[in-house]
Amino acid sequence: MFSVTVRDHIMVAHSFTGEVFGPAQRLHGATFVVDAGFAGESLDADGIVVDIGLAAEQLRAVLADLTYRNLDDEPAFAGRNTTTEVLAREIADRLVARIEAGALGEGARDLGRVTVTLHESHIAWASYERAL
Amino acid sequence: MFSVTVRDHIMVAHSFTGEVFGPAQRLHGATFVVDAGFAGESLDADGIVVDIGLAAEQLRAVLADLTYRNLDDEPAFAGRNTTTEVLAREIADRLVARIEAGALGEGARDLGRVTVTLHESHIAWASYERAL
Amino acid sequence: MFSVTVRDHIMVAHSFTGEVFGPAQRLHGATFVVDAGFAGESLDADGIVVDIGLAAEQLRAVLADLTYRNLDDEPAFAGRNTTTEVLAREIADRLVARIEAGALGEGARDLGRVTVTLHESHIAWASYERAL
Amino acid sequence: MFSVTVRDHIMVAHSFTGEVFGPAQRLHGATFVVDAGFAGESLDADGIVVDIGLAAEQLRAVLADLTYRNLDDEPAFAGRNTTTEVLAREIADRLVARIEAGALGEGARDLGRVTVTLHESHIAWASYERAL
Amino acid sequence: MFSVTVRDHIMVAHSFTGEVFGPAQRLHGATFVVDAGFAGESLDADGIVVDIGLAAEQLRAVLADLTYRNLDDEPAFAGRNTTTEVLAREIADRLVARIEAGALGEGARDLGRVTVTLHESHIAWASYERAL
Amino acid sequence: MFSVTVRDHIMVAHSFTGEVFGPAQRLHGATFVVDAGFAGESLDADGIVVDIGLAAEQLRAVLADLTYRNLDDEPAFAGRNTTTEVLAREIADRLVARIEAGALGEGARDLGRVTVTLHESHIAWASYERAL
């Protein structure tokens, strides 16, 4: 199994609903350093699992719709907590939708798995991994 | 699959028995930066795989019984080498015992996997991964 | 010259006023990983430049007044942009006030310099350094 | 499952063939920080999954044949792009050949999996994972 | 004193002349993770020491003239070893030239110091610091 | 001003005397990731501030006398706490003695400053900086 991972980041405001979140129920914010990994069983004729330039570009496009925003105001997340886990899944799903639409090239449709990790600080991170 | 990971650390003395360890047979020590990961298939109603505050608290409690000690003197490790692998398993097992006792909340009993990684330096680390 | 540095973090929302900030004029947020360094010319009888436990505790206390908040609503920053630079200075100044009040012990009054670095992402950080 | 990982690096020149590589078709270079992970189901009598000293030594030996070279001139890679993925697989395969030849000790023949990750920058890395 | 630092990278081939360089006399390569720091005594009315967006943009522009190249073929370095130290100075000097030409805005002309650090691996880096 | 820094590490046991150290009065241990920086005003004819290979070799030699030991038993530290600050100074002083003895080459005698940083965990480090 091969995988290629690219890193980017978003800077967002949000608040959480639920006593479990303690002070994070208040409006606060986070830098999420985002690692998007693309895994497949084989390499193409060029010797790559995915075009890393396209991968970085598509990740940037997905993140552009999220960064420098108050996620509490985003219709896409209405009625949901934008926890690190939820954001990891959302970013993974949006990347998969782009892959399926051909944005990473024809070969990328054969990828087996996408993994998105969001680092919320130097001491905490969350991941979501899904098949294509 | 979702996972949440929290980081903490311990600072311990120990020595190893066995020629394979070379100079590490002498009494020496290590800072182990400890990453404890909790993985599950689904999110709860709050949008989390585990209460990250409780996870950090329980990891800290487990590490409090190990840190600032000479592990050669700890009855729990009598007759065993406290290698990075052995410590990773011990910490994982203790976390699982706490999860099963409800310390991470009712939902955490449904977690599928715990992974503990101990970084012993900038160039070496070891992990232990187990099912619940 | 000796120095000791401890790391902690805050997670805040804020927005900026001024065209120079582009999309960061919108309400967004950041995790700031905060490094607070304490420098002095000599060590005390214990062999330390500052009590690292107290230093971490005082940094935590200073950050507790900032984290999990929307800085736009904080009277302390009214009418000012809470840029990374401004926050670094504010945290440094608050640490110095605590040092001068004796919160880091009598010896700490002889420290020569405090440096605070805020990492806003994996690709950008800002520092403020001041004498005591 | 246990795993032990050691880190080392190589500094190489190379160029790529194929329009997908854009400016990387020109002769350029990279530092690859190489993480080699060795995984197994059980620990031996010493409490280790692999002799970490031998693991580091064998990784160093494998990398010694690659570093400070122009990979375009290496017969081993003639006619192939030395992408991060290709290099990760090559290093993993060479490590497995050494394990099978006994270079990591008799016990290492029972290892289940080798994973090699090459970090090409602070924002991109690739991995190859294979069974023994 | 305030400073703001931004990070980017280049991937280059080169070789060195001189017995001191050992195997690095052969054509090889490196990823240099580049940190460019801009320091000044005061903040402007917006609360910044430099426009971080412009700083990142200008660093990217300077690095675009170096990356994905064999530095042995670059006229700018003819007859000189492109050591990490030499490259750090070159990048700092080019940034200062841009600052003096106004590329970082009028306020940036008052910056006091530019520091450029090039990380050539996880275990070695070099810096060059100069006044404006 | 130029500087070159190399990284290595030691793994030691020790205990501290003094109530200020709390639980660290017990025998415990640490991995210290050690950064040794060598600074000078100018580059030599090869374009370097110091031979980085020699620098790494000399740092390794200095650390070989400290690692895999219980520092409480080392005559060099008898009656002294081996705090992070004390160890940073000791390592810097030993490096300077080697430089003055010519171990880093004739040119290294013109270095202006040596800085040694010891990282004791992901959240704490200490430095000592001295002139030659």
> Mind listing the pLDDT tens digit for each residue in B11-52?
999 999 999 999 999 999 999 999 999 999 999 999 999 999
Q: Supply φ then ψ for residue E85, to 5 degrees.
A: -65, -45
> Mind listing the pLDDT tens digit for each residue in F14-72?
999 999 999 999 999 999 999 999 999 999 999 999 999 999 999 999 999 999 999 99
H-state helical runs in B4-105: 52-64, 84-100
- Residue B69 contacts residue B20 (beta carbons within 8 Å): no
> Mind listing the pLDDT tens digit for each residue in D61-110?
999 999 999 999 999 999 999 999 999 999 999 999 999 999 999 888 88
Mark yes or no for CB contact A88/B47 under 8 Å: no
Which of E29, E121, E123 has the CB atom closest to D12's CB atom? E29
Which of E80, E129, E130 has the CB atom closest to F47's CB atom? E80
pLDDT of residue A100: 96
pLDDT of residue D109: 85
Which of C7, C26, C123 has the CB atom closest to A69's CB atom? C26
Tell me the nearest-neighbour CA distance from F70 into chain B, angstroms.
5
Q: What is the pTM of this model?
A: 0.98
Buried b / exposed e along D24-43 (16+ C-beta atoms within 10 A): beebbbbbbbbbbbbbbeeb
Region E17-37: mean pLDDT is: 97
**pLDDT exceeds cutoff 90 at F109:** no
- Please, is A76 exposed, middle or buried when counting C-beta atoms within 10 Å of its C-beta (0-12, 13-18, 19+)? exposed
ipTM above 0.90, yes or no: yes
Number of domains in chain B: 1
Q: Which percentage of chain B shows pLDDT scores above 70?
A: 100
Tell me which chain B residues have a C-beta less than 8 angstroms from the C-beta of F28: 11-13, 29, 67-70
Structure tokens at A111: 């990828």
**Which CATH number characterizes residue D91's domain?**
3.30.479.10
Q: Which percentage of chain F shows pLDDT scores above 70?
A: 100
**pLDDT exceeds cutoff 90 at A109:** no
Q: Give which of D83, D116, D120 to mutate to test A binding, by max A Cβ within 10 Å.
A: D83
Q: How far apart are CA E52 and CA C89, in angstroms?
A: 17
Which letter does DSSP use for residue C25 in this model?
Answer: G
Count the alpha carbons within 13 Å of F4 in the hemisphere toward its beta carbon: 23
pLDDT of residue A56: 98
Q: Provide the 10 A C-beta neighbour count for residue E53.
A: 15
Residues of chain C with pLDDT under 50: none
Buried b / exposed e along E66-99 (16+ C-beta atoms within 10 A): bbbbbbbeeeebeeebbbbbbbbbbbbebbbebb
Q: How far apart are CA D45 and CA B9, in angstroms?
A: 26
Mark yes or no for CB contact B85/D49 under 8 Å: yes
The mean pLDDT value of chain E amounts to 97
pLDDT of residue D25: 98
pLDDT of residue E107: 83
Q: Supply φ then ψ for residue B98, to 5 degrees.
A: -70, -40
Q: How far apart are CA A51 and CA A98, in angstroms?
A: 14
pLDDT of residue A76: 96
Tell me which chain D residues have a C-beta less than 8 angstroms from the C-beta of C123: 122
C67 touches chain A (CB under 8 A): yes
pLDDT classification of A107: cutoffs 50, 70, 90: confident
pLDDT of residue E100: 96
- Please identify which residue in the block is written with the tokens 């099978």: D100
pLDDT of residue E109: 85
Radius of gyration of chain F (CA): 16
Which of C17, C80, C85 has the CB atom closest to E2's CB atom? C85
A129 touches chain B (CB under 8 A): yes
> Mind listing the pLDDT tens digit for each residue in E90-112?
999 999 999 999 999 988 888 99
> Mind listing the pLDDT tens digit for each residue in E59-74?
999 999 999 999 999 9
Residue F16's closest chain C neighbor by CA? C46
C120 touches chain A (CB under 8 A): yes
Neighboring chains of E (3 or more beta-carbon pairs < 8 A): B, C, D, F
pLDDT of residue F128: 98
Parent domain of E80: 2-131
CA angle D50, D128, D15 (to 5 degrees): 125
**pLDDT exceeds cutoff 90 at B109:** no
Candidates A93, A81, A108; CA nearest to A12 is: A81
CA dihedral of A66, C81, C92, F122, whole degrees rounded to 10: 10
F122 touches chain A (CB under 8 A): yes
pLDDT of residue D58: 98
Q: Provide the 10 A C-beta neighbour count for residue F49.
A: 28
Tell me which chain D residues have a C-beta less than 8 angstroms from the C-beta of C122: 122-123
pLDDT of residue B107: 83
Tell me the nearest-neighbour CA distance from B57 into chain A, angstroms.
13
Q: Provide the 10 A C-beta neighbour count for residue E129.
A: 18
